[in-house]
Structure 1
Amino acid sequence: MTTAESATSAATPSTPATPTAQRRLLTLARFPSYAGAQHLVDRLADAKFPVERMRIVGNGIRTVETVTGRMTKGRAALYGAGSGAWFGLFVGLLFGLFAVGPAWIGVVLTTVLLGAAFGAVAGFIAHWATRGVRDFSSVSGLEADEYEVQVDAGLYEDALRLVPTLAM
């Protein structure tokens, strides 16, 4: 891209990719938790307000990782066995569709046991390969400092009138 092309493309407003970005939204309320914002939108939905013209926006987003416990090779093998068993159940049920008579039970049990065995080995090896770099399990999520409930500018006054009548 030449300098002239980049200057032209920078000066040309781009078309928003989503319908939400094309409309003007006003903040109806702010909450310290997502549950509060969700409750307000739910109450407006119960009041037959067109909630498809609203959105909840988290401000001050950060990643939070909650440590759930110590990870050992045995625990990794156990988790792997559980995952493998679920996968084996899925495969067994698919194969069981083609089994005749009560043989499908044997097909399902065999695939569950094989899945658990392979999963346990895979879990053990995967944890062993890290050489203790990450000896804990965790769950990651997103949190925000505050949550805004926004509504289309054309519906702002209607929503504002409904908010005091809703039992929060």
Structure 2
Amino acid sequence: MMVSSPFGGGQGPAGLPRLPTPPTGWPIGSYSTYGEAQQAVDFLAESEFAVTDVTIVGVDLMLVERVIGRLSWGRVLAAGAMSGAWFGLFAGLLLGMFVNQGGFTLQLLTGLVLGVLSGLAFSAIGYRASRGRRDFSSASQLVAGRYDVLCQPRSAEQGRELLAKLALRPPPATA
């Protein structure tokens, strides 16, 4: 059995490096969307190609933040109350299971009420502290300008030939 330091060398699960490392291999295809790159690798797998030699690499990375909506006191407090309610229900459930005083329902209700109140308080404090600097909610996504499919040199030529066949196929008919 080999023992290695978490800070150096060795392989992780499925032979993957433990630390971030640049990808290796020769380019066998380049696609404008991740879906197209994924479709290419699926095609290689269906063609009995050794897909363990393949890596999809996102190039020209961008962080895209899509604005979902405007924040208001009502939305902030409602979200705080909901998240507090879930936490309170969980805490009340634990109390009800392990504390034998006052009854299960009472402890569940106590947890719910305290959770809602703490959720309201924490969300109000956080929103007030922002002082209107970020009055919107958003979702972030890491996307690439293009997606390259790389392959280890031992099978790169075969992979290129298969992907050339995929490129010659007519696009699927849409309903």
TM-score (norm: length of structure 1): 0.72
Q: Given that residues 25 and 153 in structure 2 are in contact (C-alpha distance below 8 angstroms), is that contact kept between their aligned partners in structure 1?
A: yes
What are the equivalent positions in structure 2 for 1:1-168 lying under 5 Å apart?
Answer: 18=17, 24-98=24-98, 103-104=103-104, 106-163=106-163, 164=165
Residue range with higher mean Cα deviation, 57-66 or 82-91: 82-91
Amino acid aligned to 1:116? V
Q: Number of aligned pairs?
A: 153
Residues 133 and 152 of structure 1: is their aligned pair in 2 closer, same or farther, counting only changes over 3 Å?
Answer: same
1:120 deviates by: 1.8
- Name 2:5's counterpart in structure 1: none
Residue range with higher mean Cα deviation, 64-73 or 21-30: 21-30
SS of match in other structure, 1:138: strand
SS of match in other structure, 2:98: coil
SS of match in other structure, 1:134: coil
Q: Given that residues 43 and 166 in structure 2 are in contact (C-alpha distance below 8 angstroms), is that contact kept between their aligned partners in structure 1?
A: no
Where does structure 1 lack aligned partners over 5 or more consecutive residues?
1-14
Question: How far, CA to CA, are the matches of 2:155 and 2:64 in structure 1?
Answer: 35
Q: Which has the higher helix share?
A: 1
What is the root-mean-square deviation of aligned Cα atoms in Å? 3.3
- Name 1:7's counterpart in structure 2: none
1:142 deviates by: 1.4
Question: How far, CA to CA, are the matches of 1:120 and 1:139 in structure 2?
Answer: 22
Report Cα offsets for 1:67-110 as digits up to 9, x if no partner: 1111112211111122222323433444454367xx54554444
Percent identity over paired residues: 36
TM-score (norm: length of structure 2): 0.69
